[in-house]
């Protein structure tokens, strides 16, 4: 008489188990999301169903939006970030790459760097970060290395997003820290800032090009 199979054996030979093993190499390469580490996303229209986002989180994201507007006024890509504990703001930042000619001066990287100095501790486990754009690989890595407790971002980044869109660095269990990540917070407002900025930039480029053509001798 064959021994009764246990629950593990049943899971192993079930259709779900077979599919899970089939796609395991893709998940390990980061080419397919792992349902166990799925990033929570939502729009601000559905906050009532997500108790993870509080009124304080919304206020901090709105502050990050104001910082992004300051960046835009300096002809920087409008991204702002706030590091906070409860209702207390620890540090803020916005993009400064053009002003500093420094490729690492992204908003959230500046903010977490300032927060570590302010708290005299590089471990930011008790901190939340609100940033208007999904962090890139560099900044997502900083969230992991800085042991950030919670990360909230606004607009997704189809060209460099490393929390959910292109990569899932902050959810990678091979790393030694995984912050809580909530995307899509006030996403429409955050995305509109970027759309308006790049629309104006394209218009300025066209105007300069047209002006140069007018000045050319006949």
Q: What is the pLDDT of residues 170-200, one digit of tens each?
A: 999 999 999 999 999 999 999 999 999 999 9
108 in active site? yes
Q: What is d(CA 135, CA 168) in angstroms, rounded to the nearest whole number?
A: 10
The catalytic position among 66, 108, 126, 212 is 108
pTM of the model: 0.74
Residue whose C-alpha is closest to residue 141's, from 183, 116, 104: 104
Give the integer Cα–Cα distance in Å for 116 and 46.
33
Strand order of the sheet with strand 80-85? 40-41, 180-183, 150-155, 128-133, 80-85, 88-94
pLDDT at 44: 36
> What's the number of CA atoms in the CB half-sphere (13 Å) around residue 63?
21
Q: How confident is the model at residue 208 (pLDDT cuts 50, 70, 90)?
A: confident
**pLDDT above 90 for 93:** yes
Q: What is the pLDDT of residues 64-79, one digit of tens each?
A: 999 999 999 999 999 9
2 confidence band (pLDDT: 50, 70, 90): very low
Q: Which residue has the tokens 């917070």?
A: 185
Long-range Cβ pairs for the range 71-76 (8 Å, 24+)? 71/95, 71/96, 71/107, 72/193, 72/196, 72/197, 74/98, 74/99
Place of tokens 């064959």: 2
Q: How confident is the model at residue 206 (pLDDT cuts 50, 70, 90)?
A: confident
């Amino acid at each position: 008489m064959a021994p009764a199979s246990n629950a593990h054996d049943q899971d192993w030979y079930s259709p779900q188990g077979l599919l899970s093993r089939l796609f395991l190499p893709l998940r390990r390469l980061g080419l397919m999301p792992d349902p166990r580490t799925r990033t929570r996303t939502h729009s601000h229209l559905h906050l009532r169903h997500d108790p993870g986002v509080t009124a304080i989180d919304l206020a901090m994201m709105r502050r990050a939006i104001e910082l992004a507007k300051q960046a835009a006024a300096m002809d920087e890509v409008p991204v702002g970030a706030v590091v906070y504990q409860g209702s207390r703001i620890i540090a803020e930042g916005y993009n400064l790459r053009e002003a500093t000619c420094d490729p690492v001066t992204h908003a959230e990287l500046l903010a977490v760097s300032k927060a570590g100095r302010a708290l005299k501790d590089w471990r930011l486990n008790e901190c939340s970060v609100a940033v208007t754009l999904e962090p890139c690989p560099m900044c997502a890595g900083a969230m992991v290395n800085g042991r950030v407790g919670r990360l909230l971002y606004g607009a997704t980044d189809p060209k460099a997003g490393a929390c959910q869109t292109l990569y899932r660095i902050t959810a990678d269990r091979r790393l030694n820290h995984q912050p809580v990540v909530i995307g899509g917070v006030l996403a429409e407002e955050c995305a509109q800032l970027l759309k308006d900025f790049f629309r104006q930039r394209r218009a300025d480029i066209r105007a300069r090009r047209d002006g140069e053509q007018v000045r050319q001798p006949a």
